Amino acid sequence: MNGAELYKKKGCDAVIAVGGGSPIDCAKGIGIVVSNEQHILEFEGVDNVSIPAPPLICIPTTSGSAADVSQFAIINDTKRKVKIAIISKKIVPDISLCDPVPLTSLTSDLTAHTGMDALVHSIEAYVSNASSPVTDIQALESIRLISAYLPLAYHNPDHIGYRYKTMLGSLLAGLAFSNASLGAVHAMAHSLGGLSDLPHGECNALLLESVIDYNFEVCPERYETIAQTMNVDCSSHDPQEIKQKLLSALQALRTELGITERLGDLGVSRENIADLAKSAIRDPCLATNPRKPTVSDLEHIYEGAL
């Protein structure tokens, strides 16, 4: 809201965003507040933006959020302690300048967290009930790129080639989820990040395995394809065996990226779970999760990640 006030005061006619998901989403918020003259929290949900924002140019400096190509903006409602989702084609940026060089300044933690965010984007888009043949192509290529090159970029932060591959993976994931939407991992991560202010990508990484364990039975073929794309041996075609191998591969990836904590290690307690689930059940990302969860289901998934 302060940014929108400054925009009007200085007579601006466009917004340039440089950074990761938070500054880019802030820029999107400034734009729609200026054009619609409403408080930012009034846009929560799907298609609640009437007037398009002024021109927005994005220069992403992480390979994770893909906010620079998506129709999503995530805003932290500090009063309710929850991250809200604003979803509208009217907040898709006009220009995105993607260059891997700024990624070389990322810390190892940011490399890991934002990279896992991108991987979750593509996994959730692929199993989304709003997926399509077009988003499937984007999501699977993103999964292939990120699972192969994120560890290499993590261990070789100055390698432009590896950084380029992770940026391309993030871009493709953004195109996929902007059209297929997301699922329970993001709904639960938004609730968790709003309560605890933990990094969004880290929340996604710590919730992913528990959500896959919950979702797997309704779309095992989709998860098998994801596993194959990550070079997991699926020759048995036994669903339970493939599920365990996929979960093990994701756990190994997390461990290699230094994401070894559990939610409990980061200050989340069982006393928080009921409130977290109540917030998550209202998140619009749940609408496209392949399995429709109850509040009790979400509580169980949170417990599994503790």
Q: Please report the pLDDT score of residue 249 as a whole number.
A: 98
What is the CB neighbour count within 10 angstroms for residue 221?
A: 10
pLDDT at 33 over 90: yes
State pLDDT tens for residues 261-270: 999 998 899 9
* Distance (Å, whole) CA 124 – CA 208: 9
Q: Please report the pLDDT score of residue 83 as a whole number.
A: 87
Q: Please report the pLDDT score of residue 198 as a whole number.
A: 86
pLDDT at 78 over 90: no
> Which of 59, 60, 6, 65 has its CA nearest to residue 33?
6
State the pLDDT confidence band at 34, using cuts at 50, 70 and 90: very high
pLDDT at 20 over 90: yes
Q: At what angle do helices 133-155 and 160-180 cross, to 10 degrees?
A: 150
User: Is 122 exposed, middle or buried, given 0-12, 13-18 or 19+ CB atoms closer than 10 A?
Assistant: buried
State pLDDT tens for residues 227-254: 999 999 999 989 999 999 999 999 999 9
Sorted by where each starts, the structural domains of the chain and their CATH numbers stand as 2-96 (3.40.50.1970), 105-305 (1.20.1090.10)
Average pLDDT value for the chain:
95
Q: Please report the pLDDT score of residue 82 as a whole number.
A: 83
Claim: this prediction has a pTM higher than 0.85: yes
Helices (H), the chain: 2-9, 21-36, 108-127, 133-155, 160-180, 184-196, 200-215, 220-229, 239-256, 270-280, 295-305
Least confident residue range of 13-17, 136-140, 234-238: 234-238
Tokens of 56: 């927005």
Tokens of 168: 């391309």
